[in-house]
Amino acid sequence: MATLPSHGLRSLTTARPWLLNRRPSSTFASLSSSSMAEDSAEAPQPSASKPSKSNKSYFPKRGQTLELLCESLAFKGKGLCKVADTGFVVMCDRALPGERFIGRVTRKKENYAEVTKLKTISPHWDFVDAPCEYSSYCGGCKTQNLSYEAQLSAKEQQVLELVTHVGMFSSKELESLDIMKPIVPCDIQFHYRNKMEFSFGSHEWLPTESLSEKQDGNESYALGLHAPGFFDKVLNVNKCLLQSEPANMVLAAIQDCWRDPQLGLSAYNVHSHAGFLKHLMLRTGRDVKTGLPELMVNFVTSSYKPELLGPLVDKISPVPEVVSIMNNVNTSIGSTSVGEEEYTLYGKSTITEILRGLTFQISANSFFQTNTRQAEVLYKLIEDCAGLRGDGSEVVLDLFCGTGTIGLTLAQRVRHVYGYEVVAQAIADARLNAKLNGIHNATFVQGDLNKIDESFGNNFPKPDIVISDPNRPGMHMKLIKFLLKLKAPRVVYVSCNPATCARDLDYLCHGVIEKNIKGGYRLKSLQPVDMFPHTPHIECVCLLELC
Ligand SMILES: C[S@@+](CC[C@H](N)C(=O)[O-])C[C@H]1O[C@@H](n2cnc3c(N)ncnc32)[C@H](O)[C@@H]1O
């Protein structure tokens, strides 16, 4: 038997009143398991409750203003609101539970509408002052002025809604069998991100109330985060409370000088494709010997002109934590930060980080969990779910292994780890990380898990434990079918998208009737984890056991 996860952390909702007192109708009521496409692993989309008799004919017009009450947070952290007397559902970014406000309809969907908030009439229940000056319009944090406890309970409720309405598990079984665990909070709510990517913009985006401050020339260049939903609008940011203090020192030093016309630097324009500076990526790791922070600064530029970056390098290299300054050159017109060529401008080309006692080497473009501190907690939960015997006899299959971090942290206690991942560079990093930590019982293979065929599984022995950690679209039907045929005794499903997680749990446990596929697993535990406070993101660790 696998050990059920324990984390020894505070339980926020001991009584979980929402488990007993749930609303009868739900935003997720019409999310059906059939929303899974055979050929693409798409996320189930939000859709509003079916209009009741009284609201059947009601549909607001685009541009119409409405008085609304936000009931809860739903998909992507949007506020789920109802139009008074009609029950009609609208979704609104940055509307918070209990808030009464005036909104304008911006978009009509099949059976709900999207609105923009114009004016708050009365604030939400758990209002706190947001410490960040950009919080009301930055695309990064959306719920900074909702108390952290309220953020956690909203996330927990969202997972429960999805697992009941998409996953088709009854709230009764989730409760009576103690399947659904209380969300694990993040013990630090700021400065938790080890990686931030800022964009350079040729025109600073300003919220409507600040438009009078509009400037011209280099003064209008911006370096910061994108306005919500816009790839071409950059909000200038001098400090981000989610990243480390040394990273903020570097950001401030760059902001201090990069617009100086004498430096001849220009921001890349995503429309005209002219300009030099595209992105600034700041990654914080740790010196393995001293445990002190070490910083990588990565300039992504549209061409290779190191002489132009020289003054910036001179300005930031004296910051004691800066150990690496890189230049990724990306000549494509896309907005990706991965360059076709990479140059080291100062110091070393990688930084290090320690996770569950192992050392990981991180290059500018390698994937690494972005909240290191909470990744320790997450990986401990995964290990607890894996329920390893520890006698070195078991085989682990690590699907969507990235740079191999999960598998490698388990490798010392098992016979062999087999990791699969689509990104070739991540596989190279995984092999390097294995070597760096003296691990010889891990094999990492590059491959697309959406395109597996009958031969998948021929190259590794039947695993005792499968870890599956897909990105947001979840698992492809081909992989679901493979797992149901493989019949590994235990599957640990790690998810960063509770909607696709709920769908895949449904498939693995209940099968897919319309495709004549029988389920084969029992959900033993579902543990939400908050990796990213103030954002809508929710991580879940689920343990499934073969029936
Ligand atoms: C959420 S990350 C998990 C990474 C890793 N397990 C960790 O904890 O660091 C998901 C990984 O799945 C990989 N991936 C996405 N689609 C894939 C596919 N079709 N086949 C294989 N790997 C894929 C991504 O490149 C990414 O590394």
Buried b / exposed e along 325-350 (16+ C-beta atoms within 10 A): bbbbbbeeeeeebebeebbebbbeeb
Strand duo 113-122 + 395-399: pairing: unpaired
Nearest atom in ligand 1 to the alpha carbon of residue 406 is 8
Residue 318 pLDDT: 96
Residue 262 among known ligand-binding residues: no
| Ligand 1 in reach of 509 Cβ (< 6 A) | no
Nearest CA to ligand 1 atom 17: 422
**448-451 long-range contacts, CB within 8 A, separation 24+:** 448/422, 449/399, 449/400, 449/420, 449/422, 449/475, 449/476, 449/479, 450/40, 450/41, 450/476, 450/478, 450/479, 451/478
Ligand 1 in reach of 369 Cβ (< 6 A): yes
The 3-state DSSP class for residue 190 equals coil
Residue 283 has pLDDT above 70, yes or no: yes
Residue pair 376/455 in contact (Cβ under 8 Å)? The answer is no
pLDDT above 80: residue 207: no
Place of tokens 């909203």: 154
Ligand 1 pocket member 448 (CB < 6 A): yes
At 216 the pLDDT is 55
Contact predicate 347/335, CB 8 Å: no
In sequence order, the 6+-apart residues with CB closer than 8 A to the CB of 212 are none
Read off the amino acid at residue 292. L
Q: Which of 427, 477, 485, 415 is nearest to 455 (CA)?
A: 485
Instruction: Please say if 92 is a catalytic residue.
Output: no
How many alpha carbons fall within 13 Å on the CB side of residue 183? 29
pLDDT at 203: 82
> Is ligand 1 within 6 A of the CB of residue 353?
no
Pick the range with the lowest mean pLDDT from 345-349, 386-390, 423-427. Answer: 423-427
Residue 77's pLDDT band (cuts 50, 70, 90): confident
Ligand 1: residue of 40, 361, 456, 471 to mutate (most ligand atoms within 8 A of CB) is 471
Q: Confidence band (pLDDT; 50, 70, 90) for 340?
A: confident
**Residue 526: is its pLDDT beyond 60?**
yes
Confidence label for 217 from pLDDT (cuts 50, 70 and 90)? low
Residue nearest to atom 11 of ligand 1 (CA): 400
The letter for the amino acid at 17 is: P
Q: How far, CA to CA in Å, does 240 sit from each of 195, 198, 223, 284, 498?
A: 11, 10, 12, 14, 27
Q: Which atom of ligand 1 is nearest to the CA of 470?
A: 10
- Which one of 138, 496, 540, 542 is the catalytic residue? 496
Q: What confidence tier does 336 reach under pLDDT thresholds 50, 70, 90?
A: confident
Q: Which of 55-64, 198-207, 369-378 has the lowest mean pLDDT?
A: 55-64
Q: Which residue has the tokens 């110091």?
A: 347
Mean local confidence (pLDDT), 529-534: 97
- Contact between 97 and 119 under an 8 Å Cβ cutoff? The reply is no
Cα–ligand 1 centroid distance for 424 (angstroms) = 11
Question: For residue range 140-180, what is the model confidence (pLDDT) as tens digits?
Answer: 888 898 899 999 999 999 999 999 999 999 999 998 899 99
Q: How far is the CA of 270 from the centre of ligand 1 (A)?
A: 28
CB of 466 closer than 6 A to ligand 1?
Answer: no
Query: Binding site annotation covers 527?
Result: no
Distance from the alpha carbon of residue 40 to the mean position of ligand 1, in angstroms: 16
- The model's pLDDT over 82-118, given as tens digits with 9 standing for 90+, comes to 887 888 899 998 888 888 999 999 988 888 999 998 9
**What was the pLDDT predicted at 7?**
31
* 124 C-beta neighbours (distance < 10 Å), count: 20
109: β partners: none
pLDDT at 218: 56
The model's confidence at residue 19, banded by pLDDT at 50, 70 and 90, is very low
Centroid of ligand 1 to alpha carbon of 70 (angstroms): 35
Q: Tell me, what's the pLDDT at 85?
A: 80
Closest C-alpha to ligand 1, atom 26:
402
CA of 295 to the centre of ligand 1 (A): 25
Q: Is 378 in the pocket of ligand 1 (CB under 6 A)?
A: no
The interface predicted TM-score of the complex, written ipTM, equals: 0.99
**How many percent of the chain have pLDDT more than 70?**
87
Query: For ligand 1, is residue 450 a contact (CB within 6 Å)?
Result: yes
How far is ligand 1, taken at its centre, from the CA of residue 360, in Å? 17
Is there an atom of ligand 1 within 6 Å of 495 CB? no
pLDDT in tens, 407-450: 999 999 999 999 999 989 889 999 999 999 999 999 999 999 99
496 lines ligand 1 (CB under 6 A): yes
Tell how far the Cα of 159 is from the centroid of ligand 1, in angstroms: 22
298 C-alpha to ligand 1 centroid (Å): 23
pLDDT value of residue 126: 85
Counting atoms of ligand 1 from 1, which one is nearest the CA of 379?
A: 8
Q: Can you give 513-537 as a three-state secondary structure string?
A: HHHCECCCEEEEEEEEECCCCCCCC
To test the pocket of ligand 1, the residue of 381, 385, 422, 453 to mutate (highest count of ligand atoms within 8 Å of its CB) is: 422
Question: Token pair of 539, please?
Answer: 């991580």
pLDDT value at 17 more than 50? no
- For ligand 1, mutation pick of 367, 374, 380, 400 (most atoms within 8 Å of CB): 400
400 among the known binding-site residues? yes
**CB proximity list for 102: less than 8 A, separation 6 or greater:** 65, 66, 67, 68, 117, 118, 119, 121
Mean pLDDT along residues 518-525: 97
- The domains found in the chain, sorted by start residue, are 46-125 (2.40.50.140), 195-350 (2.40.50.1070)
What tens digit of pLDDT does each residue of 349-377 get?
999 999 999 999 998 988 899 999 999 99
Q: Residue 56: what pLDDT?
A: 57
Kindly state if the Cβ of 421 falls inside 6 Å of ligand 1.
Answer: yes
Of ligand 1's atoms, which has the minimum distance to the CA of residue 423?
25
Query: How much is the mean pLDDT over the chain?
Result: 86
- Closest C-alpha to 47, from 118, 116, 108, 117: 108
**324, β-bridge pairs:** 296, 347
Nearest CA to ligand 1 atom 7: 402
Phi (first) and psi of residue 97, to 5 degrees: -55, 130
pLDDT digit string, tens, across residues 224-279: 998 877 778 899 999 999 999 999 999 999 999 999 999 999 999 989 999 999 99
At residue 205 the predicted structure's pLDDT band, cuts being 50, 70 and 90, is confident
- Residue 407: half-sphere exposure toward Cβ, Cα within 13 Å: 35
Return the best residue to mutate from 367, 380, 493 for the ligand 1 pocket (most ligand atoms within 8 A of CB). Answer: 367
Q: What is the model's pLDDT at position 14?
A: 33
Q: Residue 186 Cα, ligand 1 centroid: separation in angstroms?
A: 23
469 is in an annotated binding site: yes
pLDDT at 213 over 60: no
Q: Give the number of the atom of ligand 1 that is nearest the alpha carbon of residue 448.
A: 20
